[in-house]
Amino acid sequence: MKIGILGTGNVGRALAAGWSGAGHDVVLGSRRPDDTGLRAELAAALGEAVPVVDVSSAVAGAGVVVNATPGTASVPLLAEVGAPALAGKVLLDVAVGFTEDGALSHLGESLGEEIQRSYPDTMVVKTLCTIDSELMVAPDSLEGPSTVFLSGDDAEAKRTVGGLLNDLGWPTESLLDLGGIATARGQEHYSLLFLGIAGAIGAYGFGIRVVPPARS
Amino acid sequence: MKIGILGTGNVGRALAAGWSGAGHDVVLGSRRPDDTGLRAELAAALGEAVPVVDVSSAVAGAGVVVNATPGTASVPLLAEVGAPALAGKVLLDVAVGFTEDGALSHLGESLGEEIQRSYPDTMVVKTLCTIDSELMVAPDSLEGPSTVFLSGDDAEAKRTVGGLLNDLGWPTESLLDLGGIATARGQEHYSLLFLGIAGAIGAYGFGIRVVPPARS
């Protein structure tokens, strides 16, 4: 699978390492691909296996595009790429937007929905936004199984993303398909509880597991 | 412990049965305590062990007041009771407000915070709002342990509420103190993910467990 990851922060780097290690053909898309400092930093973190290119090139060559940009930067960045380049592609959206005062940028709505609405010919799947970047690629680092959620309107795109989650180490029984992209709201609004739990336990590397009723 | 529960819906009834069964002295406070239909319904559900009184009487006799009213009705109902009657008491707040179109009524904020701000001499503790009423009093109905959250500014009030949660069957290791009442935001905003999960698994009687990092 050719994966173009937009964003070179902690999330982009973790996912690039994870999927590259699983044998996928990964490129990182950056707004400043010629920044020698950034290139050196990424080479130190990821080796030479993951090329750094401009965002349009990252999208052009990819079957799956990953939005790992800050949630408040995602919409303008995707607008630069443009709808024709994104049409027909799966867009795996990991981002959550926070305003400067720490509030959700898409309160009562979701970034996932905004992206899907703006690019109706792209298949947006929201996932992985309920966990920290290090955990995204290391589900075995937890004490036991936890749940990862998927939201998206296109069933085939969710299957593709489910396979990519498997490749990061998330077993299929840990994946929970919440339904259409409108359910991204739940994933994104959970961020507030995520931050509360992180403060309480003093760590970001935790999961949540949906605990079902006991079988009778 | 004398417990005055405001609200006679599913949540009020479940909690009344749970705490009454644990040996507490429980009354239900209703805006229409003389409604014979309601009285008959509550007697059928709870027996005669739980008296139904008006809301002011329920608060006056209680050490712990429980807000189990619909989240959009809570503020006007507490205003009827008044700050002097609520002063010095623990208010265990379970409510989440939804507008008619299904959105959170306290988006970007929380009902728990609004109540605490309105009644500074009352010790508000938000809890149990992340789970369904039947599960509140039957944590053993799940496949395994799940987590219940507490938010409140007063440590002693949280200890009192923690004891009441123990009495419902929640072991201390399942309780997670998130911090001050501002963290009620996380609990209330989780409702959107709760509804998504409920839709996906086709049941309301599930919990979530915070899964910590494995001990190294």
Taking CB atoms and an 8 Å cutoff, what residues of chain B touch A207? 210-211
Query: Distance between CA atoms of A122 and A170, rounded to whole angstroms?
Result: 25
Q: Cβ separation of A142 and B183 shorter than 8 Å?
A: no
Tell me if B146 sits within 8 A of B171, measured CB to CB: no
Query: Distance between CA atoms of B87 and B138, rounded to whole angstroms?
Result: 31
Average pLDDT on A48-76 reads 95
Quick one: pLDDT at residue B181? 98
CA distance A180 to chain B (A): 10
Question: Which of B142, B190, B206 is the closest to A190 by Cβ?
Answer: B190
Taking CB atoms and an 8 Å cutoff, what residues of chain B touch A190? 189-190, 192-193
Q: How far is CA A128 from the centre of its chain?
A: 5
Quick one: pLDDT at residue B175? 98
Quick one: pLDDT at residue B215? 81
CA distance A142 to chain B (A): 4
Average pLDDT on A166-181 reads 98
Quick one: pLDDT at residue A59? 98
pLDDT above 80 (res B216) = no
Q: Please name the residues in contact with B188: beta carbons below 8 A apart, sequence gap of 6 or more.
A: B96, B104, B106, B110, B111, B112, B126, B129
pLDDT above 80 (res A216) = no
Average pLDDT on A154-172 reads 98
Q: Cβ separation of A210 and B210 shorter than 8 Å?
A: no
Considering chain B, what percentage of its residues have pLDDT values greater than 90?
Answer: 97
Tell me if A188 sits within 8 A of A104, measured CB to CB: yes
pLDDT, tens only, A76-101: 999 999 999 999 999 999 999 999 99
Q: Cβ separation of A214 and B141 shorter than 8 Å?
A: yes
Average pLDDT on B97-116 reads 95
Question: Which of A104, A141, A196 is the closest to B214 by Cβ?
Answer: A141
| Residue A49: pLDDT band with limits 50, 70, 90 | confident
Tell me if B106 sits within 8 A of B188, measured CB to CB: yes
Secondary element (H or E) of residue A176: strand A175-179
Q: Cβ separation of A190 and B193 shorter than 8 Å?
A: yes
pLDDT, tens only, B14-66: 999 999 999 999 999 999 999 999 999 999 999 888 999 999 999 998 999 99
Tell me if A85 sits within 8 A of A60, measured CB to CB: yes
**Mean of the per-residue pLDDT values of chain A:** 96
Considering chain A, what percentage of its residues have pLDDT values greater than 90?
Answer: 97
pLDDT, tens only, B66-100: 999 999 999 999 999 999 999 999 999 999 999 99
Q: Cβ separation of A187 and B208 shorter than 8 Å?
A: no
Taking CB atoms and an 8 Å cutoff, what residues of chain A touch B108? 103-104, 107-108
Average pLDDT on A139-167 reads 97
Question: Which of A178, A190, A200 is the closest to B200 by Cβ?
Answer: A178
Chain B contact probe: residue of A127, A129, A190, A191 with most B CBs at under 10 A: A190
Structure tokens at B153: 């500014």
pLDDT above 90 (res A11) = yes
pTM, two decimal places = 0.96
pLDDT, tens only, B170-212: 999 999 999 999 999 999 999 999 999 999 999 999 999 999 9
**By CB neighbour count within 10 A (0-12 exposed, 13-18 middle, 19+ buried), where does A64 fall?**
buried
CA distance B30 to chain A (A): 32
